Amino acid sequence: MNQLQQELKRRRTFAIISHPDAGKTTLTEKLLVLGGAIRTAGAVKSRKAEKFATSDWMELEKKRGISVTSSVMQFEYDSYKINILDTPGHQDFSEDTYRTLMAVDSVVMIIDAAKGVEPQTIKLFKVCRERKIPIFTFINKLDRQGKEPLELFEEIENVLGIESYPINYPIGMGQSFRGVYDRQEHKIEWYNEKRERQVQALSEVDELSELLKDTVDDYTLSQLEENLMLLDEAGSTFDLEAVKAGKQTPVFFGSAISNFGVPTFLEHYLKLAPQPQPLQSSEGVIQPDDPNFSGFIFKIQANMNPAHRDRIAFLRICSGKFEKGMSVYLDRTGKQLKLAQPQQFFADSRELIDDAYPGDIVGLYDTGFYQIGDTVCSSKDTFNFGALPQFSPEHFAKVRAKNAMKQKHFLKGVSQLAQEGAIQVYKTQYEETILGVVGTLQFDVFVYRMQAEYGVDLDIERMPHQVAKWIANREEAEALRRNSNNLVVSDYKDRPVIIFENDFSLRWFQQKHPKVELRDSSHNM
Specify whether 283 is located in the same domain as 364: yes
Give the per-residue pLDDT at 164: 96
pLDDT > 70? residue 62: no
Are residues 161 and 36 located together in one domain of the fold?
yes
The helix/strand/coil state of 129 is helix
Whether the pLDDT of residue 396 is over 90: the answer is yes
pLDDT, mean of residues 322-343: 89
Among 256, 272, 288, the domain-final residue is 272
Give residue 245's pLDDT: 93
Residue 33's alpha-carbon distances to 54, 262, 361, 517, in angstroms, are 11, 11, 20, 53
Q: Of 212, 14, 206, 246, nearest to 125 (Cα)?
A: 246
> 294 and 401 in one domain?
no
**In the prediction, which pLDDT does 217 show?**
87
Dist. CA 150–CA 375, nearest whole Å: 45
The closest alpha carbon to 62, from 501, 518, 452, 511, belongs to 452
Q: Are 186 and 285 members of one domain? A: no
* 510 found inside a domain: yes
From residue 407, how far is each of 81, 401, 425, 452, 463 by CA, in Å?
45, 6, 16, 16, 22
Provide the CATH number for the domain around residue 307: 2.40.30.10
- Does residue 25 register a pLDDT over 90? no
Asked if residue 297 lies in contact with residue 374, where contact means CB atoms within 8 angstroms, the answer is yes
Please check the confidence at residue 46 and state whether its pLDDT lies above 90.
Answer: no
Taking CA atoms, 130 is separated from 16, 77, 93, 120, 134, in Å, by: 17, 30, 20, 16, 11
Instruction: List, for residues 338-355, the tens digit of each pLDDT value.
Output: 987 787 765 456 678 889
Residue 63 belongs to a domain: yes
> What average pLDDT score do residues 280-309 get?
83
Q: In sequence order, which residues have a C-beta less than 8 Å from that of residue 219 and are 6 or more positions away?
A: none
Q: Which residues are annotated as a binding site for GTP?
A: 18-25, 86-90, 140-143
Number of domains in the chain: 3
Question: Residue 52: is its pLDDT beyond 50?
Answer: no
**What's the whole-number mean pLDDT along residues 141-146?**
90
In a domain, 506, yes or no: yes
For residue range 187-211, list pLDDT tens digits in order.
Answer: 999 987 666 788 888 877 678 888 8
CATH number at residue 460: 3.30.70.3280
Looking at residue 346, its pLDDT comes to 59
pLDDT at residue 131 in the model: 83
Give a three-class secondary structure readout of 468-500.
EEEECCHHHHHHHHHCCCCEEEECCCCCEEEEE
- Considering the domain architecture, whether residues 427 and 344 belong to the same structural domain is answered as no
Residues 242 and 302 in one domain: no
Say what the pLDDT of residue 51 is: 44
Which comes out higher in pLDDT, residue 52 or 200?
200
Q: What is the pLDDT of residue 284?
A: 94
Which pLDDT does position 439 carry in this prediction? 75
- pLDDT tens, residue by residue, 425-446: 999 988 899 999 877 777 888 8
Point out the domain boundary residue: 350, 377, 404: 377
Gap between the Cα atoms of 363 and 348, Å rounded = 12
Q: Residue 100: CA atoms inside 13 Å, Cβ hemisphere, count?
A: 27
Q: Enumerate the β-bridge partners of residue 319.
A: 294
Clarify whether residues 261 and 145 are in a common domain: yes
Contact 64, 72 (CB under 8 A): no
pLDDT, tens digit, 9 for 90 and up, residues 233-273: 988 899 999 999 999 999 999 999 888 999 999 999 999 99
Element (H, E) at 53: none
If you average pLDDT over residues 137-142, what whole number do you get? 94
89 — pLDDT class (breaks 50, 70, 90): very low
Query: What is the arithmetic mean of pLDDT over 370-392?
Result: 85
For the residues 5-30, what does the mean pLDDT come to? 88
Between 53 and 252, where is the model more confident?
252
Quick one: pLDDT at residue 69?
46
Alpha-carbon span 489 to 486, nearest angstrom: 9
Confidence of residue 136 (pLDDT cuts 50, 70, 90): very high
Report the pLDDT value the prediction gives residue 59, as an integer from 0 to 100: 53
Min mean pLDDT across 53-57, 71-75, 104-108, 343-347 is at 53-57
Q: Model confidence at 525, in pLDDT bands (50, 70, 90)?
A: low
Is 80 exceeded by the pLDDT of residue 410? yes
pLDDT band at 49 (very low <50, low <70, confident <90, very high): very low
- Which CATH number does the domain housing residue 112 bear? 3.40.50.300
Compute the distance between CA of residue 66 and CA of residue 45 in angstroms, rounded to an integer: 8
Residue 355 and residue 468 in one domain: no
Neighbouring C-beta atoms of residue 70, cutoff 10 Å:
22
Residues 284 and 268 in one domain: no
Would you report the helix, strand and coil content of the chain in percent, each value rounded to 5?
30, 30, 40
Is residue 22 very low, low, confident or very high in pLDDT (cuts 50, 70, 90)? confident
7 found inside a domain = no
2 in any annotated domain = no
Q: Are residues 360 and 497 in the same domain?
A: no
Boundary of a domain, candidates 377, 408, 437 = 377
Sequence ranges of the binding site: 18-25, 86-90, 140-143
Q: Work out whether strand 395-401 and strand 458-463 pair parallel, antiparallel, or are unpaired.
A: antiparallel
Q: Do 263 and 327 share a structural domain?
A: no
Half-sphere exposure (Cβ direction) of 419: Cα atoms closer than 13 Å: 21
Q: Is the pLDDT of residue 45 over 50?
A: no
Q: Please report the pLDDT score of residue 90 as a whole number.
A: 45
Question: In this predicted structure, what is the pLDDT of residue 309?
Answer: 58
Q: Is the pLDDT of residue 462 over 50?
A: yes
Residue 504 lies in domain: 395-519
Domain annotation covers residue 316: yes
Q: What is the pLDDT of residue 272?
A: 96
CA-to-CA distance for 234 and 231, rounded, in angstroms?
5
Do 407 and 340 share a domain, yes or no? no
Degrees, nearest 5: CA angle 27-28-29: 90
- 389 belongs to a structural domain: no
Q: Is residue 78 a part of any domain in this protein?
A: no
